[in-house]
């Protein structure tokens, strides 16, 4: 491992859309390389030490560039996985794989707590009426349908890739594809406002 090796890796990383495959102990090798330079610097006089200082600055700058470039790709991969992609990460080191898994988990939890309540709001329950209390405040996209659940339904994956676990009397918004199947099985029914079915906004 030397500075020229690192510069070549940096160039290849910039040119590649995906992660280039590095040796499993890549970061360990760089750490050992920097440590060796530091030890050599301490053994030399001023002029020699200054030369090694220049090399150390270059090494640190290049490895930071490599790391930043790879992290950007890993974040993108984690976002795709959190959105439902089944593609496994390729070219990652063990440290990067651990980071990928942590990011995927964090993004998945963020989708659940931030995004899901926005695009799939739960409308609440009503024991005696199927009428939405404030329909003007609920925005339903064309591919979704407001329904009332007629009986408990086990967890299933919706057409939008999300998991649903519905209980009797829940008022929820479902993808139309799932609404049709469940309606055919008589376990959900469309929510109505007065005598009119609540249509998509």
Q: What is the pLDDT of residues 60-103, one digit of tens each?
A: 999 999 999 999 999 999 998 887 787 888 899 999 999 999 99
What is the SS3 assignment for 84? coil
- Is residue 187 located within the same domain as residue 93? no
- Is residue 160 located within the same domain as residue 103? no
Q: Give the pLDDT band of residue 131 (cuts 50, 70, 90).
A: very low
pLDDT at residue 21 in the model: 94
Containing structural domain, residue 93: 3-116
CATH number at residue 188: 3.40.5.50
Alpha carbon separation from 186 to 70, 85, 116, 153 (Å, rounded): 50, 32, 26, 11
pLDDT at residue 119 in the model: 61
25-29 own/partner pairs: CB under 8 Å, 24+ apart = 25/93, 26/93, 27/93, 27/95, 29/1
What is the SS3 assignment for 6? helix
Q: What is the pLDDT of residues 33-53, one digit of tens each?
A: 999 999 998 888 777 888 999
Boundary residue ending a domain (116, 144, 168): 116
- Is residue 55 located within the same domain as residue 112? yes
- Is residue 109 located within the same domain as residue 153? no
If we measure between CA atoms, which residue out of 103, 100, 101, 96 comes closest to residue 21? Answer: 96
pLDDT at residue 123 in the model: 45
CATH number at residue 79: 1.20.58.1030
Mean pLDDT value across the chain: 82
Distance of CA 8 to the CA centre of its chain: 30
> Residues 9-29, buried b or exposed e (16+ Cβ, 10 A)?
bbeebeeeeebeebeeebbee
- Is residue 70 located within the same domain as residue 104? yes
- Sole residue written with tokens 């064309």: 142
- Is residue 74 located within the same domain as residue 10? yes
- Is residue 16 located within the same domain as residue 103? yes
- Is residue 13 located within the same domain as residue 95? yes
Quote the number of domains for the chain.
2
Boundary residue ending a domain (82, 101, 116): 116
Alpha carbon separation from 194 to 21, 73, 189 (Å, rounded): 62, 52, 15
- Is residue 109 located within the same domain as residue 159? no
Boundary residue ending a domain (84, 116, 148): 116
pLDDT at residue 139 in the model: 53
- Is residue 107 located within the same domain as residue 10? yes
- Is residue 132 located within the same domain as residue 68? no
The set of residues, in sequence order, having a beta carbon less than 8 Å from that of 152 and lying 6+ positions away, is 166, 167, 168
Higher-pLDDT residue of 135, 113: 113
What is the SS3 assignment for 36? helix
Lowest mean pLDDT, pick from 28-32, 77-81, 190-194: 190-194
- Is residue 22 located within the same domain as residue 55? yes
């Amino acid at each position: 491992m030397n500075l020229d090796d690192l510069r070549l890796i940096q160039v290849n990383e910039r040119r590649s859309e995906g992660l280039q495959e590095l040796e499993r102990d890549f970061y360990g090798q760089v750490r050992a390389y920097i440590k060796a330079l530091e030890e050599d610097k301490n053994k030399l006089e001023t002029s020699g030490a200054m030369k090694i200082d220049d090399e150390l600055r270059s090494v640190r700058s290049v490895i930071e560039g490599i790391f930043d470039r790879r992290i950007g790709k890993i974040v993108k991969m984690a976002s795709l996985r959190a959105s439902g992609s089944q593609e496994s990460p390729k070219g990652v080191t063990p440290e990067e794989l651990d980071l990928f898994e942590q990011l995927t988990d964090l993004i998945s939890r963020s989708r659940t707590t931030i995004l899901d309540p926005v695009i799939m709001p739960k409308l609440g329950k009503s024991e005696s009426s199927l009428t939405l209390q404030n329909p003007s405040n609920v925005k339903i996209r064309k591919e979704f349908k407001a329904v009332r659940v007629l009986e408990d339904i086990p967890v299933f994956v919706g057409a939008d890739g999300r998991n649903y676990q519905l209980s009797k009397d829940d008022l929820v918004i479902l993808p139309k594809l799932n609404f049709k199947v469940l309606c055919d099985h008589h376990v959900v029914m469309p929510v109505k406002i007065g005598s009119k079915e609540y249509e998509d906004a």
